[in-house]
Amino acid sequence: MTSVNSLVDIAVFGIVGAIMMAALIGLLLVLPGGASGTTPKGRVAFGTASVVLLVALPTLAAADSLSAGAGFWTAFAVASCAVAVVYAVNVGMLPLVARRRAAAGGRSALASLRPSLPVLAVGLLVCLALGLLGASVSALIV
């Protein structure tokens, strides 16, 4: 039964995190100056919100798994997969953001921006690191 709970945790926390990250990206695009560049304070605020989301999301997912009786490695896998769902949404929205930025700045090179395989691999390593951080913090808390 733990495996079903883990899949539910991945789905719930991954989808909620993906929606929140997409909302942050959408706000960044529609705010005044979003396409042409925001103010430094705006960038810091959105960066801080993104980091808080990417740390809190796997921590909550792992804490839910640990409180259901799962072990540390199961909590680590749940946290990493939840962050990977959010990462997939970010990669999926990258072309949209790049086209919007290219239209505002007149740069055609940005319009065809696609992440390469090494960039995607490093992103997955970051997902694993965030999953480990979330599982470790939740193991200390729970």
- Segment 2-30 shows an average pLDDT of 84
pLDDT, averaged across the chain: 84
Residue 138 pLDDT more than 90?
A: yes
The alpha-helical segments, DSSP class H, found in the chain are 2-30, 40-67, 72-105, 117-141
Between 112 and 66, name the one with better pLDDT.
66
Residue 110 pLDDT more than 90?
A: no
pTM for the full predicted model = 0.83
Angle of CA points 49, 58, 35, to nearest 5°: 30
- Segment 76-88 shows an average pLDDT of 93
Q: What is the CA radius of gyration of the chain?
A: 17
Sign of the four-CA dihedral 13, 18, 58, 75: positive
**Alpha carbon of 19 to those of 24, 50, 109, 136: distances in Å?**
9, 12, 28, 25
Between 4 and 138, name the one with better pLDDT.
138
Residue 35 pLDDT more than 70?
A: no
* Residues 19, 82 contacting (CB under 8 angstroms): no
Range of the domain at 116: 2-141
Number of domains in the chain: 1
Between 98 and 12, name the one with better pLDDT.
12
